[in-house]
Structure 1
């Protein structure tokens, strides 16, 4: 009889690649992970790992069992969802991972809106940029992830999550107040090719969107400042350290008295935001409640903003 808890250890090894990384994800010691894997090999009667010095890799049999382990995990998620649906008790804890703007603009309003109708539901929130929220979701650290679409995929792990578009928003140009284009009603991106730039760090999906938009406009931006905090980005722009592209919703709560915000001409780059849950958990009533709340709080697709004209 195969112990499903040991299958979870095998999945962690397949996902993370090393015993040490799997142990960190499971909050176990490396020796405990090795013991669980050895016991699993005894249970199935096959070698699951090839040991090469200090490293290990899955055998063909181990890879097959790891795929089954993912399917079993999905079925267990469905079983929990069905049990919760039968009991119909809207009480419990849901943990959401999201990037900072989504926390401010979507997650927090959703929590406030849900409180009167579901006072026994507690929503915990973790700030996670880039693909970190998806890693937390796959590792079982959170129940829902709010993330930005990225050209990179999760590979084989992609099948373990269910994505749903949440909202899309354009990027606006943020310019120093004395910039020659600050008085224009809209800015061609190509006209900013000679300016110094301020962007998020590489690895942040917004960084990739900005670079790709500049490349499509025919230039490589000269990045001089890096920050994942859009308040810091706008403060640097106001200090004449460079220009930036910022997603529109990120500008809502920022004091822009010393910077000019202008839409881009033509088709602006877009930040596409989605929700993700582990496949099989989508029918859990608590998941449905939180996902419905996030959809209701998401900005409309055609959201607009009063831009400064100083």
Structure 2
């Protein structure tokens, strides 16, 4: 195997003409330069130099090796620069796990912005529902996990993790178009906005919004469409129903909110869905207080919390979250 440092000695000799001059440039003794060149000849198995009095000339084999030496030394310098930048936190890879809605609303916009502000940063994004993201984070398979607060979440005082709140969004009821709560709210909204009322536009809007609200207990007797066990959304919804004094009758299960909305629209039951995740054509109604809320946070391992690329990514994620 050819050692790169000996190629540097050969290049210095070619550039400066004598062993003595090469030694001065390389901060070596002439004897050390001669030893390195002899070792290089041994490595390639060919004579690279021929003596001509006090000077040495490079053989045809040496010139051939020099042609490759320039390429090799260039790539070595690039590798050294890249490693230096990596060590300084300027370039590298950050792996993010997130649930699908957070990828659409949060991670994808952050990815676009980071491509402009941190060109040396490579984001690798993986979809991870439920507790999977935190598990992958703790196992070292991710650098940042975006997760939902629920009863199974790591405790806030878990010394392994640093948690950064991102955003919170209320749940809304998703109803079949023929559901009494949906049709009653529609009628109330129409009455609030009909001609001849004394309300100003802003008052009418407020009245309509208030009329739209339903109590969670109104849905106690319905069939429910619910996320699968292990999904933190299911845990949040079950806890809200429990606090409202009933246990929902779960008939259908899906972790895809578009599928949930389709099942509800087909009359399969009712559901609660985070507001930002509701498909556009779904029939929804806000809930009266207390409203269940999806609280989304980012988590990183303590050992990576201060890494420049991780902090840069978290900063952009936080900026995007503030606009949701």
Q: Which TM-score bucket, shorter chain as reference? A: 0.5 to 0.7
Q: 1:291 aligns with which of 289, 307, 314?
A: 314
Structure 1 residue aligned with 2:145? 145
Query: Aligned partners of 1:120 and 1:261: how far apart in 2?
Result: 43
Structure 2 SS opposite 1:298:
helix
Query: Aligned partners of 2:181 and 2:139: how far apart in 1?
Result: 47
Q: 2:294 aligns with which of 249, 252, 271?
A: 271
Structure 1 residue aligned with 2:63? none
Structure 2 residue aligned with 1:135? 135
Task: Give the CA deviation at 1:255.
Answer: 3.6
Structure 2 SS opposite 1:215:
helix
Structure 1 residue aligned with 2:272? 245
- Residue pairs, 1:187-226, within 5 angstroms: 187-226=214-253
Instruction: Select the structure that is richer in helix.
Output: 2
Structure 1 segments of 4 or more deviating over 2 A?
Answer: 83-90, 152-155
Query: Aligned partners of 1:182 and 1:295: how far apart in 2?
Result: 36
Say if 2:261 is the partner of 1:234: yes
Query: Aligned partners of 1:297 and 1:165: how far apart in 2?
Result: 12
Structure 2 residue aligned with 1:94? 94
Q: State the Cα deviation string for residues 10-53 of structure 1 (Å, max 9, x = none).
A: xxxxxxxxxxxxxxxxxxxxxxxxxxxxxxxxxxxxxxxxxxxx
Task: Give the CA deviation at 1:120.
Answer: 2.1
Q: Is the 8 A contact 1:84 1:285 kept in 2?
A: no
- Residue pairs, 1:1-310, within 5 angstroms: 88-154=88-154, 158-183=158-183, 184=185, 185-251=212-278, 254-256=279-281, 259-298=282-321, 300=323
Q: State the Cα deviation string for residues 132-168 of structure 1 (Å, max 9, x = none).
A: 111111111110000011212548x932111121111
Q: Which structure is larger by alpha-carbon Rg, 1 or 2?
A: 2
Query: Aligned partners of 2:86 and 2:152: how far apart in 1?
Result: 38
Query: Aligned partners of 2:160 and 2:224: how far apart in 1?
Result: 38
Task: Give the CA deviation at 1:218.
Answer: 1.4
Give the RMSD, CA atoms, in angstroms. Answer: 2.2
Structure 1 SS opposite 2:230:
coil
Q: State the Cα deviation string for residues 111-146 of structure 1 (Å, max 9, x = none).
A: 111111112211110100111111111111110000
Task: Give the CA deviation at 1:280.
Answer: 2.5
Give the unaligned 5+ runs of structure 2: 1-82, 186-211
Distance 1:180 1:135, change over 3 A: same
Q: State the Cα deviation string for residues 250-283 of structure 1 (Å, max 9, x = none).
A: 12xx241xx3111101221011111111102111
Distance 1:250 1:84, change over 3 A: farther
Give the unaligned 5+ runs of structure 1: 1-82, 304-310
What TM-score comes out, normalization by structure 2 length?
0.63
Q: Is the 8 A contact 2:149 2:296 kept in 1?
A: yes
